[in-house]
Structure 1
């Protein structure tokens, strides 16, 4: 299955999902996308550039280290596994893939999406999307 097909299948299950992308944080490149309109495609292009800073920026790393200082046994964790960001009219979900810690799956949903269901369905989709890489 292609990455685009896997993202399309995932979008069909995630409530109010309007775009999905698969980002390589090392290069900042979108390795695959599926969108419902051109505005969403532009949003994904912008997110691809920003996602590395979101997961690997100095502030985030300092925050992770602070949290990790309370759990000294957690040395294998590559950092945050997921980040959800609410914007004016969108819910952006970012999931780091367990098999490829430098890859992130991004979903953009309308703000009308049921947040709990969107997060749950995005987690369920992570395996099939990662397998398509």
Structure 2
């Protein structure tokens, strides 16, 4: 199965399985490109593209990379492993979960829910979908 089909299937699973779902997207953070998106409402493409760019900054912005490099140095780690794999952001009305793929660290899924979401269930269901994406 190719990456496009894997991403499409993951978005369908997020919509079906994540509680209080508002939307999801998959970003290639090496390019900052939004690979695919699914939302319950229509959102302007320029806003979605900005979210993709912001996702790349969250995981590999200059300061984030500097923090990761300092921790590696402090711990004596010399590999290219990334430390930041999941980031939860609470905004005024929404909860945004950013999750890096374990098998392809340049792929990040963004899952957005209402503030009513049970955060534990959000993590459990989103991690399950990511595990399916990574297993293929």
Structure 2 counterpart SS, 1:39: coil
- Residue of 101, 120, 133 corresponding to 1:129: 133
The TM-score with structure 1 as length reference comes to 0.84
Take 1:98 and 1:71, find their aligned partners in 2: how far apart are those partners?
21
Give me the CA root mean square deviation.
2.3
Q: Which consecutive residues of structure 2, in runs of 5 or more, have no partner in the other structure?
A: none
The TM-score with structure 2 as length reference comes to 0.83
- Residue of 62, 67, 70 corresponding to 1:66: 70
Describe the shift of the 1:54–1:17 C-alpha distance in structure 2 as closer, same or farther (beyond 3 A): same
Residue 12 of structure 2 aligns with which residue?
8
Q: Which consecutive residues of structure 1, in runs of 5 or more, have no partner in the other structure?
A: none
- Residue of 1, 23, 30 corresponding to 2:27: 23
- Taking the TM superposition and a 5 Å limit, the aligned residue runs for 1:1-133 are 2=5, 3-39=7-43, 43-73=47-77, 75-130=79-134
Describe the shift of the 1:106–1:7 C-alpha distance in structure 2 as closer, same or farther (beyond 3 A): same
* Matched-pair contact (CA < 8 Å) for 2:68–2:82: no
